């Protein structure tokens, strides 16, 4: 049995992973549960981990996986499949039917290259190859594509150097969304998006990087994060 706070936290993490492909920050969890300090979140996470509902990933900042869900949150026998796809980096990319995605239908997406400073998305003329992703990871209508992450500016939300992010093409975003943003038609970056009047803030998830605030005409949203593929 879970307490109400434990259930509320598990539901919040589950919804954010389903929406963004990555877990929420500890501050976001604290605010969502109306707690005064993050120590309460740490206690709740420990309790959920001890009961087998979540798992903390070692050596990664704030990285969580949902292992199973209670029936009240739609859990089924056999456990819950997290949306992070894990593979073996030491081997070649396995065939689509070998990826650990349960019985979900697979979709092929073009890998459009790396998302790194100084490389506009438009400058990548051809996809290097395709990657297979679960069909239910492709949220909403519109085209989707994949990018390889280069750098550590988003490690605080569990996005590591070398990860593959799944992006849904869109030109609009809500505050807090993780987006592919094109800055001054030159630099493509993956950051949290916030709008304040006529200014756009692009916020990293790593204290080593400053938040960039730019006029809205200097920033163009090119897509929103909907999933993550990780290899080890």
Catalytic residues: 153, 191
Q: What is the DSSP letter of 186?
A: T
Separation between Cα atoms, residue 31 and residue 12, nearest integer Å: 11
The Cα 112–Cα 114 span in angstroms is: 7
Task: State whether residue 40 is helix, strand or coil.
Answer: helix
- Specify whether the CB–CB gap between 161 and 184 falls below 8 A: no
Could you tell me which residues come within 8 angstroms of residue 92 by beta carbon, excluding any fewer than 6 positions away? none
DSSP annotation string for 70-129: -GGGT--TT----SEEEE-TTSPPPPGGGSS-TTPPEEEEEEEEEE-TT--GGG--S-SE
CA–CA dist 191, 7 (Å, integer):
29
Q: At what angle do helices 38-50 and 4-20 cross, to 10 degrees?
A: 90
How far is residue 15's CA from residue 182's CA, in Å, rounded to a whole number? 27
Element (H, E) at 28: helix 26-32
């Amino acid at each position: 049995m879970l307490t109400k706070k434990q259930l509320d936290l598990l539901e919040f993490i589950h919804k954010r992973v389903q929406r963004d492909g990555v877990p929420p920050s500890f501050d976001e969890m604290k605010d969502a549960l109306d707690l005064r300090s993050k120590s309460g979140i740490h206690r709740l996470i420990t309790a959920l981990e001890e009961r087998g509902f979540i798992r903390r990933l070692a050596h990664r900042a704030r990285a969580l996986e949902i292992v199973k869900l209670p029936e009240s949150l739609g859990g089924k026998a056999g456990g819950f499949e997290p949306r992070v796809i894990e593979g073996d980096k030491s081997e070649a990319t396995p065939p689509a039917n070998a990826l650990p995605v349960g019985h979900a239908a697979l979709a092929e997406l073009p890998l459009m290259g790396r998302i790194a400073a100084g490389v506009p998305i438009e400058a990548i003329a051809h996809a290097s190859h395709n990657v297979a992703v679960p069909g239910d990871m492709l949220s909403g209508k519109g085209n989707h594509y994949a990018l390889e992450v280069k750098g550590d500016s988003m490690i605080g939300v569990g996005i590591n150097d070398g990860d593959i992010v799944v992006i849904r093409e869109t030109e609009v975003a809500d505050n807090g969304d993780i987006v592919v943003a094109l800055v001054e038609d030159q630099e493509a970056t993956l950051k949290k998006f916030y709008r304040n009047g006529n200014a756009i803030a692009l916020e990293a998830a790593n204290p080593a990087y400053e938040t960039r605030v730019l006029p809205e005409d200097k920033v163009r949203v090119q897509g929103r994060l909907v999933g993550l593929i990780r290899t080890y």
